[in-house]
A and B are shown apart, each in its own frame.
Chain A
Amino acid sequence: MSTDGNTPEENPPGEPASAEEPTPAEGPKKAAKSAKPEKAEKGEKAPKTAKTSKDGKAEGSGRAATPAGPGEAGEAGRSDETGRSDKGGEGNEPEKSVGPRPGPAPDAGSASGAAAAPGPVPELTPAPPPAAAPVTGRQRLLNSLWPPRLTRAQLTVAVLLCVLGLGLAIQVRSTSDNSALRGARQEDLVRILDELDNRTKRLEDEKRRLENQRTELESSSNQAAEARKQTAQKEQQLGILAGTVGAQGPGIELTVSDPKGLVEADKLLDAIQELRAAGAEAIQINDVRVAADTYFSGAAGRVEIDGKKVSQPYRFKVIGKPQDLEPALNIPGGVVQTLEKEQAGVSVQRSEKIIVDALRPAKRPDYARSSSQ
């Protein structure tokens, strides 16, 4: 390890002169330029011939060692080593361009060798190969990894890698954090915003439409319910007038007993008219409902109402204001006196609850039509 440690230590001073870019293409050229002309030729030759028989050629040049300059030996040793180490790889995948890759390394090595120690290398021709031979890429990596050395290069690289790690972490966090919006470009954001706006507008429109519809339906249903209610009320009122529904309320009960059969139909009609004039709202005689088209017929004792024979005693059930109805019947020369003159028994009773439950069938007029519409 100590010898390995030496070579990297020696290499860095040479490196800035020779080895530059990570990209391999520039390496060889610069190295070739900085090196001597024969070596440039050699350097260019070496990669080309490497594919065929690098091992042999390198060894041959190493053995001869006469024609080339001081750097030759180092280069020979390096290329020898790399050639051997790469042989397996070349054998496995010959079609791949492995040639250019070992190229830079030998050149760099040779250039550094030439720059660092131009003089002593030729004398120590056998010495450098064992020293340089073990330094492979893997070992270089391990060397730089394990004994942590606080060099300038390490520090600068550490700072840059720190920045990279920072950026990496920020980016990963921001992309995983909140969806794709954070890293999105401006035009994408504008497009997304437009889409959202359009969508919002569409939804607003739809909402307004639906709300209008709802209020419409509500008001119409309200109106319909109101109309139904009013219609029902009107039907009740009209039904009471027409006699098609039962009625109840305060009123009086007028009983006319006519044992001798002397009361005529017009006397009953007079009583009805008197009651109506006093504000009677629903009238029933025995079990016949009195309505607008009620008629009286027949002689005394065999009175018919609406063609229905009613027999005495005639019981009037009248709904209205009792305080008005009773005096109306009892006024001097009124219904009660007239009936008593006919020798009929008349009695009037107030009541808080009169039930008129006799009904008339609803009749549809054949000819008369409403003119209000």
Chain B
Amino acid sequence: MIAVLGLVVGVVVGLVVRPVVPTVVEPYLPIAVVAALDAVFGGLRAMLDGIFDDKVFVVSFLSNVVVAALIVFLGDKLGVGAQLSTGVVVVLGIRIFSNAAAIRRHVFRA
């Protein structure tokens, strides 16, 4: 519950305050958000499976974000940033879908 409240608070703050993102970080923000979404879905699934652990969640969340941003950064340096970010998004999307399928089985039993 508090976690959901945290999400809502984050969205509201982001919409109201309009923080300015440094231009250096800007290209990696979308990828980082997708990676974080993946971590969140994984955490939700783990919770439904009863194997949720907050430490693991924190580590996977942060490492997901950092690795995704790092891959894109590396891709930018190598000149294949667009392709690599597409690949990262595809992989994360697949993971999100599989996690969402597991969550769906738990919640709807179907």
B10 adjacent to A105 (CB under 8 Å) = no
A173 adjacent to B76 (CB under 8 Å) = no
A169 adjacent to B13 (CB under 8 Å) = yes
Kindly list chain A residues whose C-beta atoms are within 8 Å of the C-beta of B13.
162, 165-166, 169
A140 within 8 A of B: yes
Interface residues of B in 1-33 (CB under 8 A from A): 1-15, 18-19, 21, 26-27, 29-30, 32-33
Kindly list chain A residues whose C-beta atoms are within 8 Å of the C-beta of B37.
164
A85 within 8 A of B: yes
B10 adjacent to A166 (CB under 8 Å) = yes
**Of A88, A101, A162, A175, the contact of B9 (CB 8 Å cutoff):** A162
A146 adjacent to B110 (CB under 8 Å) = no
Taken residue by residue from 83 to 94, chain A's Cβ proximity to chain B (1 for < 8 Å, 0 otherwise) reads as: 001001100100
Residue of A nearest to B23 (CB): A182
B47 adjacent to A144 (CB under 8 Å) = yes
Interface residues of B in 52-66 (CB under 8 A from A): 52-58, 60-61
Among A149-157, A279-287, A321-329, the one that faces the other chain is A149-157
A150 adjacent to B50 (CB under 8 Å) = no
Kindly list chain B residues whose C-beta atoms are within 8 Å of the C-beta of A162.
6-7, 9-10, 13
Interface residues of A in 4-59 (CB under 8 A from B): 8, 11-12, 15-16, 18-24, 27
Residue of A nearest to B7 (CB): A161
A19 adjacent to B50 (CB under 8 Å) = yes
B102 within 8 A of A: yes
A22 adjacent to B42 (CB under 8 Å) = yes
Taken residue by residue from 143 to 185, chain A's Cβ proximity to chain B (1 for < 8 Å, 0 otherwise) reads as: 0111111101111111111111111111101110000001101
A138 within 8 A of B: yes
Residue of B nearest to A175 (CB): B30
Q: Report how far A169 CA is from B19 CA in the complex, Å.
A: 10
The residue in A23, A145, A158 that gathers the most chain B C-beta atoms within 10 A of its C-beta is A158
A160 adjacent to B21 (CB under 8 Å) = no
A187 within 8 A of B: yes
Which residues of A are interface residues toward B (Cβ below 8 A)?
A: 8, 11-12, 15-16, 18-24, 27, 85, 88-89, 92, 98, 101, 104-105, 108-109, 135-138, 140-141, 144-150, 152-171, 173-175, 182-183, 185-188
